[in-house]
Structure 1
Amino acid sequence: MSFLWPQFLWLLAVLPLLLVLYVWLLRRKKKLAVRYASLSIVHEAMGAGQSLRRHLPPLLFLLAIAAMLIAAARPMASVVLPSNQQTIILAMDVSGSMRAEDVKPNRLVAAQEAAKGFIKDLPRHVKVGVVAFAGSANVAQLPTTNREDLNAAIDSFQLQRATATGNAIVVSLATLFPNAGIDISTFGSPGRQQLQGVPIDQAQRPKPAEVAPVPPGSYSSAAIIMLTDGQRTTGVDPMEAAKAAADRGVRVYTVGVGTVSGETIGFEGWSMRVRLDEETLKAVATSTAAEYFYAGTATDLKKVYETLSSRLTVEKKETEISALFALGAALLALLSAGLSLLWFNRIL
């Protein structure tokens, strides 16, 4: 727990002085009581047999003062609250390697089922968009709260060649910020076409959209979840795309599926060897203040999405709790006064 105004905590030093004052008043009362001729009156004055009742109301009042002083220091605490995450983009790999059956029944089907389960468990107000990527990246479904449209978009995936993880991040960002001028052509090297009479290294390309960088992960209204089973073979450098996300405060959670060591897979008469690039996926997640998850089986993949669902729907926030201490002080003061009136017909 931290405090916005910690200087007020010095006032807690008054409490021991109040305790000394209370003890002094008790002794003074004792000295006055022995002047009475009747011992029964002395016992009544001293509250014989009622020591607990005698001291409880002042003790409660002392605790009330302590709570009020702590409230004055404006305490802050980490509290789990519902997240204000409004939009989540699912960027899903549909490259040919996703037909591998090391994740049953195969990587693509397992990813589709896990993604649909993830969407089902999200609060209804959260919008979800779907980006499918292989050699290029395309928006399969714009952000929506319609779960049926999202499921239909996920079921319509068609396997393609190559893997462009950087493109997936860029298209996801462009979907989140449609008016920000984010375009793949502004990333990396110029296109392959050479302008007439101009060398390719001198060809002009659109300037990237300028943005004032914010702390990574500070944009709490949206997040990107990218699932892939291979390493980038074409397109934008994923680290460059991750920097663009980090500059906008958007977290990019990465999920790796498949073998880290590599596996040879056949697709449409082609034979390819795919390897999960965990190093890059971890770097993308770290640079955007997010996390990387590895899913080696369908069960692991389902658990990953369950974890992400809980992370994205609730979050820890530093919240001022001075009102709670003020309420506690008021209740303690009322209880102290009530017990004093009930037992002694006076307040303290």
Structure 2
Amino acid sequence: MPEWHSIQFVWPRLLWLLATLPLWLGLYIAWQARGVQRAWPSAGKAPLAPGVGFWRITRHVPVLLILSGLAGLLLAMARPQAILLLPSRIDTVMLAIDSSGSMRAGDVQPSRIEAAQAAAKSFVLGQPAQVKLGVVSVAGAAALVQAPTDQRDLVLQAIDQLSLQPGSALGSGMVIALHAMLPGSGLDVRGLIDGEARPQAAHGAPLGGATPAPTTPASGAVPRQPNSPPKVPPGSNSAAAIVLLSDGQSNAGPDPLKMAQVAADLGVRVYTVGVGSVQGTVLKAQGMQMRVKLDEASLKKIAEITRAEYFSADNRQDLLKIYQSLSNKIVLKKHRRTEITALCALLGMLLLSWGCVWTWWRHGRII
């Protein structure tokens, strides 16, 4: 629907043609007053029979329809424009799925990764046919598992083939997803991934052990400064979206919050889905024990920066509901100034044709 207060005209001077409508209406009234009724026979001055008054009124309806149709055509000549509320078309959605070792945890049955894979498949199958989907595996180094495609079988295979690896680089996963969706954006992938020096966040502290010291760049090394593509308002890119499914703990690669800001500068929303429980669980691996828990704060911040939403789930059924909800939420709506000349012309032609057909049906002629 157009916002009527926003209507503007490309050629506003042609609106003066509407001033001819009262002239035509006045001529019609004068014609009727003088008794010159070529199109409609006179009902005479005799007392009106029941129902005659109604038909005397309706005989003027075709003329009103014709005048309304002419008004629509004259408006169309001025080329009106209005802000329309239109459904946005999502062209590409990237699924960035955490495949780090902590996703082996069983606080979501049968495991975090299996529950995430099942929910991702449900999401893929629920998308419209024209939407392209891609998959990024996020471990110690993020990798593009499936480039954006409209072939659902390839996307499902990519989700099934995800394998758990040490480490979690959520920031790298977002960069890889952005590059896959927006290859022409000028995004410096290597500069963003390699040029960010950040402390290593603990991805589950070993029980009874010391936390490893953060790694630092070699002495004298100068971090590479990434190139910055042009910035747009956060959330303004309605043709692309990222769905990041993770437990929120990142211990490798660039800072996820800084990479979320990169996504925001490109207008891409990053919807985050937290997998796991806040209390966490003890995970045994390679003779060590560590507690892994959901880091909701990081995931909420990523969604907030990119003007998206955060969802939390601690069981498989909730994850399925979240993905079903995301299927609707990422189909955004936006306002866009659009020329509605064709709409006015169509409405005018319909009214004009209706009036002419009505007159022809009742009297066998238009005039």
Fold shared by both chains (TM-score > 0.5): yes
Q: Measured at CA, do residues 283 and 65 of structure 1 come closer, stay the same or move farther in structure 2, by a change above 3 Å?
A: farther
The whole-number CA distance in structure 1 between the counterparts of 2:28 and 2:130 is: 61
The whole-number CA distance in structure 1 between the counterparts of 2:282 and 2:269 is: 32
Aligned counterpart for 1:75 among listed residues 68, 82, 92: 82
Question: What is residue 224 of structure 1 aligned with on the other side?
Answer: 242
Following TM superposition, by how much is the alpha carbon of 1:106 offset from its aligned partner in structure 2, in angstroms?
2.4
Residues 238 and 332 in structure 2, CA contact (< 8 A), matched pair in contact too: no
Matched, 1:264 2:281: yes
Aligned counterpart for 1:5 among listed residues 1, 6, 9: 9
Aligned counterpart for 1:309 among listed residues 327, 338, 363: 327
Q: Measured at CA, do residues 342 and 108 of structure 1 come closer, stay the same or move farther in structure 2, by a change above 3 Å?
A: same
Question: What is residue 136 of structure 1 aligned with on the other side?
Answer: 141
The whole-number CA distance in structure 2 between the counterparts of 1:220 and 1:248 is: 11
Specify the SS of the correspondent of 1:50.
helix
Following TM superposition, by how much is the alpha carbon of 1:111 offset from its aligned partner in structure 2, in angstroms?
0.9
Following TM superposition, by how much is the alpha carbon of 1:70 offset from its aligned partner in structure 2, in angstroms?
5.4
Matched, 1:104 2:109: yes
Aligned counterpart for 2:256 among listed residues 227, 231, 238: 238
Pairwise CA RMSD of aligned residues?
3.8
The whole-number CA distance in structure 2 between the counterparts of 1:286 and 1:10 is: 48
The whole-number CA distance in structure 2 between the counterparts of 1:31 and 1:193 is: 98
TM-superposition CA deviations, 1:12-68 (whole Å, max 9, x none): 9968983x98489547744659xxxxx975469xx8552243121122234324544
Residues 115 and 316 in structure 2, CA contact (< 8 A), matched pair in contact too: yes
The whole-number CA distance in structure 1 between the counterparts of 2:232 and 2:121 is: 32
Q: Measured at CA, do residues 16 and 147 of structure 1 come closer, stay the same or move farther in structure 2, by a change above 3 Å?
A: same
Following TM superposition, by how much is the alpha carbon of 1:240 offset from its aligned partner in structure 2, in angstroms?
0.7
Specify the SS of the correspondent of 1:141.
strand
Following TM superposition, by how much is the alpha carbon of 1:295 offset from its aligned partner in structure 2, in angstroms?
3.0
Q: Which runs of 5+ in 2 are unaligned?
A: 37-41, 200-214
Matched, 1:188 2:192: no
The whole-number CA distance in structure 1 between the counterparts of 2:43 and 2:310 is: 78
Question: What is residue 350 of structure 2 aligned with on the other side?
Answer: 331
Q: How many residues align?
A: 331
Q: Measured at CA, do residues 143 and 14 of structure 1 come closer, stay the same or move farther in structure 2, by a change above 3 Å?
A: closer
Specify the SS of the correspondent of 1:208.
coil
Following TM superposition, by how much is the alpha carbon of 1:117 offset from its aligned partner in structure 2, in angstroms?
2.4
* Alignment TM-score, normalising by the size of structure 1: 0.77
Residue type matched to 2:358 in 1?
L
Q: Measured at CA, do residues 284 and 320 of structure 1 come closer, stay the same or move farther in structure 2, by a change above 3 Å?
A: farther
Specify the SS of the correspondent of 1:4.
strand
The whole-number CA distance in structure 1 between the counterparts of 2:327 and 2:240 is: 13
Following TM superposition, by how much is the alpha carbon of 1:236 offset from its aligned partner in structure 2, in angstroms?
1.7
The whole-number CA distance in structure 2 between the counterparts of 1:338 and 1:172 is: 58
Q: Measured at CA, do residues 55 and 124 of structure 1 come closer, stay the same or move farther in structure 2, by a change above 3 Å?
A: closer
Question: What is residue 295 of structure 1 aligned with on the other side?
Answer: 313
Question: What is residue 273 of structure 2 aligned with on the other side?
Answer: 255
Specify the SS of the correspondent of 1:223.
strand
Residues 254 and 282 in structure 1, CA contact (< 8 A), matched pair in contact too: yes
Question: What is residue 212 of structure 1 aligned with on the other side?
Answer: 230
Q: Which runs of 5+ in 1 are unaligned?
A: 34-38
Residue type matched to 2:359 in 1?
S
Report which stretch shifted further, 308-317 or 160-169. 308-317
Following TM superposition, by how much is the alpha carbon of 1:193 offset from its aligned partner in structure 2, in angstroms?
4.4
Listed as ranges, the matches of 1:31-180 within 5 Å are: 41-42=44-45, 50-68=55-73, 71=76, 72=78, 73-80=80-87, 83=89, 85=91, 87-177=92-182, 180=187
Residues 248 and 298 in structure 2, CA contact (< 8 A), matched pair in contact too: no
Q: Measured at CA, do residues 337 and 230 of structure 1 come closer, stay the same or move farther in structure 2, by a change above 3 Å?
A: same
Specify the SS of the correspondent of 1:230.
coil
Q: Measured at CA, do residues 70 and 270 of structure 1 come closer, stay the same or move farther in structure 2, by a change above 3 Å?
A: farther
Report which stretch shifted further, 142-151 or 88-97. 142-151
Counting helix residues as a fraction of each chain, which structure ranks higher? Answer: 1
Question: What is residue 36 of structure 1 aligned with on the other side?
Answer: none
The percent of aligned pairs where both chains have the same amino acid is 38
The whole-number CA distance in structure 2 between the counterparts of 1:138 and 1:151 is: 16
Residue type matched to 2:353 in 1?
L
Q: Measured at CA, do residues 58 and 15 of structure 1 come closer, stay the same or move farther in structure 2, by a change above 3 Å?
A: farther
